[in-house]
């Protein structure tokens, strides 16, 4: 039995220096590693305290990827070389073949790490955008122009796409790519429409660290991936890209059924296409009824004054929790609670309409693209 080792992941072009180690990971010849951000001592300490590098790890584990840790304590998904290869090969098969990749995400998270691993599998060197100080869509034209063919891909989160859509040159660059994978969070329908109308080949991905990243593309499982819906509407995922479990948590209920991972997402399969309605653990109980935040968010972002939004539940003496909208408004607009309530009630039950509104400049994120609802609840609760 070997020991888990730390893999410091540099930002910017320095990340290219770890490609030989990633090649060994995919070959199954390297030690098991835990990726951590090389320039972030605090985050590195948080991950190492929770996942214990230097201690023994099961044979066959190649990569331990930390989840974003909604509870504040990250879990480590244990991924084998075979799972990582299955994920990368299935992705290239779905997209039309191997190609060159543009890295525009932090590489210690699974989405960014997969860009590097797919590059290794394809035998290409990725082009890297430094996102240490945030994502600047203005650098996309030069980055895309430097990519080699014959096929070119990138992976983004919805917040990055929102920024890029405001820059015509960035839009043209993304439209020149063969595919733009979009995951990490649900993509608002208006954003997706704008991107498609601009000629961008968007591929919506669904998956998580426990499935080597996205394993369902545009609602259809990748080759070998499996989807099942439990009686309570919970999504379960299976297939060769599945993690072997969580480090140090051999009896975790998410992996209780062999060959399946039990997600916290609610969804349904219609005509072979998976649709996600929201997270079961984020549902808001208000006045004895249940409201799924993502459903309300999907309604809110259709309002012309709403650029981005998050819906949370705050304590309420009468209702238990009250539905609260936190909104980033479109420039030059200032939506009111009354108009947003009316707008939501047009498509959803009045119970889902927000009873409180906060306008903010930005939404806090945890991991690439995921809204930090706990931070919002602490701020406004």
Q: Give the model's pLDDT for residue 190.
A: 87
Q: Give the model's pLDDT for residue 325.
A: 97
Taking phi over 0 as left and psi of -120 to 50 as alpha, with beta for the rest, 5 belongs to beta
Q: Give the model's pLDDT for residue 310.
A: 94
Q: Give the model's pLDDT for residue 341.
A: 95
pTM: 0.85
**Domain ranges for the chain:** 2-276, 283-380
Query: What CATH number does the domain located at 283-380 have?
Result: 3.30.300.30
Q: Which pLDDT tens digit goes with each residue over 176-234?
A: 999 999 998 788 888 899 999 999 999 999 999 999 999 999 999 999 999 999 988 99
- Which helix (H) or strand (E) is 264 found in, with range? strand 260-270
Which of these, 148, 204, 145, 201, lies nearest to 178 by C-alpha position?
Answer: 201
Helices (H), the chain: 19-27, 41-51, 81-95, 110-122, 140-145, 158-164, 168-175, 189-197, 293-300, 337-345, 373-380
For the chain, residues with pLDDT lower than 70 are: 68-72
280 HSE (CA, 13 A, CB side): 12
Kindly state the DSSP code that residue 371 receives in the 8-state scheme.
B
Q: Give the model's pLDDT for residue 182.
A: 96
Question: Which listed CATH number (3.40.50.12780, 3.20.20.370, 3.40.630.30, 3.40.50.300) goes with 2-276?
Answer: 3.40.50.12780
Alpha-carbon distance of 107 to 114, in angstroms, equals: 8
Q: Give the model's pLDDT for residue 278.
A: 85
Token readout for 264 is 């916290």
Q: Give the model's pLDDT for residue 69.
A: 53
């Amino acid at each position: 039995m070997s020991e888990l080792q730390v893999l410091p992941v540099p930002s910017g072009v320095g990340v290219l220096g770890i490609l030989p180690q990633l090649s060994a990971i995919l070959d199954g010849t390297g030690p098991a590693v835990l990726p951590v951000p090389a320039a972030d001592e605090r985050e590195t300490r948080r991950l190492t305290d929770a996942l214990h590098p230097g201690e023994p790890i099961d044979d066959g584990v190649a990569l331990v990827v930390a989840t974003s840790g909604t509870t504040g304590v990250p879990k480590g998904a244990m991924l084998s070389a075979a799972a990582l290869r299955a994920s990368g090969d299935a992705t290239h098969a779905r997209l039309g073949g191997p190609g060159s990749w543009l890295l525009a995400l932090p590489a210690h998270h699974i989405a960014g790490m997969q860009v590097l691993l797919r590059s290794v599998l394809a035998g290409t060197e990725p082009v890297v955008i430094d996102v240490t100080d945030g994502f600047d869509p203005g650098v996309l034209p030069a980055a895309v122009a430097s990519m080699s063919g014959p096929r070119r891909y990138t992976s983004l989160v919805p917040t990055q796409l929102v920024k890029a859509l405001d820059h015509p040159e960035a839009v043209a660059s993304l439209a020149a790519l063969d595919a733009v994978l979009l995951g990490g969070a649900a993509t608002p329908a208006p954003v997706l429409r704008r991107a498609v109308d601009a000629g961008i080949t968007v591929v919506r991905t669904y998956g998580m660290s426990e499935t080597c990243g996205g394993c369902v593309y545009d609602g259809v499982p990748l080759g070998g991936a499996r989807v099942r819906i439990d009686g309570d509407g919970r999504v379960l995922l299976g297939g060769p890209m599945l993690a072997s479990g969580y480090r140090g948590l051999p009896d975790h209920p998410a992996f209780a059924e062999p060959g399946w991972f039990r997600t916290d997402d609610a969804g349904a399969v219609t005509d072979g296409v998976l649709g996600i309605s929201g997270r079961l653990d984020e549902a808001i109980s208000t006045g004895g009824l249940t409201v799924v935040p993502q459903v309300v968010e999907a309604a809110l972002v259709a309002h012309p004054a709403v650029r981005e939004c998050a819906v949370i539940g705050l304590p309420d003496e009468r209702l238990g929790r009250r539905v609260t909208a936190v909104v980033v408004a479109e420039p030059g607009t200032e939506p009111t609670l009354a108009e947003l309530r009316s707008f939501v009630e047009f498509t959803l039950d009045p119970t889902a309409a927000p009873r409180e509104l906060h306008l903010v400049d930005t939404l806090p994120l945890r991991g690439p693209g995921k809204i930090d609802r706990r931070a919002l609840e602490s701020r406004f609760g």
